Structure 1
Amino acid sequence: MGIIRLKNIRVFTNHGCLVEEEKIGSDYRVDLEVKADLQPSALSDELADTVDYVHLNAIVKEEMAIRSKLLEHVAERIIQRIFRELQMVTYVLIEVSKINPPIGGDVEQVTIVMEKSR
């Protein structure tokens, strides 16, 4: 078993419950960890035998571009799409952070963390 991590995927999009968030948008950060059997690719040196992190990054960016009211909702979509498109992945841990959230205080970021196995 092995782990692939994508750290600090930065996107600008418009998630949130407030009308202002939909219009103005915000900066977001996504951290992703997946587990899969990396031994075949370690031996073969072939991309076809591993989880392509370019594909993982594309899934995150495409799903983050679809508006959701809740970060949990977009995180769940990302997890489900990873499981659907990348059969080698057995576990996903995702953190979705809203940078400078509009919550009436000096808060650097709000983060939700979700994990799922199959």
Structure 2
Amino acid sequence: MDWIYITGIRCYGYVGYLPEEQVLGQWFEVDLILGVDLTRAGTSDNIQDTSDYRQAIAMVKAQIATAKFALIERLAEVIAQDILTLDKIQQVRVRLTKPTAPIPDFGGKITIDITRYS
């Protein structure tokens, strides 16, 4: 299995358990690892022989911008399932981060990390 790493996808969305998260929104960050056989693309130099990762980035941004879930676990799952519909993707790892979780006296980040297979 070969891997395409896409890091630092950043988008504003309205996912969260607290009502104010669903109204005011917040930033989310996503890193993807796409499992795909890159053998043919590596020799052909033809984009049709790989997975066009621009589509994956667009899917992530669209999901974050439009999703209305209470849990970021659900958002990560939906992103993973969307990515698996792309041509040639056999596996995806989604790392979804909430950089400024509204938790009193907590300055860290919350990250959900899931791996799914086609």
Query: TM-score, normalised to structure 1's length?
Result: 0.93
Equivalent in the alignment of 1:18: 18
Query: Secondary structure of 1:10's match?
Result: strand
Cα separation, 1, equivalents of 2:91 and 2:105: 35
Query: Which letter does structure 2 place at the counterpart of 1:21?
Result: E
- Matched residues, number: 117
Equivalent in the alignment of 2:77: 76
Cα separation, 1, equivalents of 2:14 and 2:3: 30
CA offset at residue 87 of structure 1?
3.2
Cα separation, 1, equivalents of 2:101 and 2:79: 21
Query: Secondary structure of 1:93's match?
Result: strand
Cα separation, 2, equivalents of 1:81 and 1:106: 32
Task: Provide structure 2 residue ranges, at least 5 long, that are not aligned to the other structure.
Answer: none
Equivalent in the alignment of 1:57: 57
Percent identical across equivalent pairs? 32
Per-residue Cα deviation, 1:27-80 (whole angstroms, up to 9, x for no partner)? 111011011000111111111110111011011111112221111111111111
Equivalent in the alignment of 1:28: 28
Calculate the aligned-residue CA RMSD, in Å: 1.1
CA offset at residue 14 of structure 1?
1.1
Query: TM-score, normalised to structure 2's length?
Result: 0.93
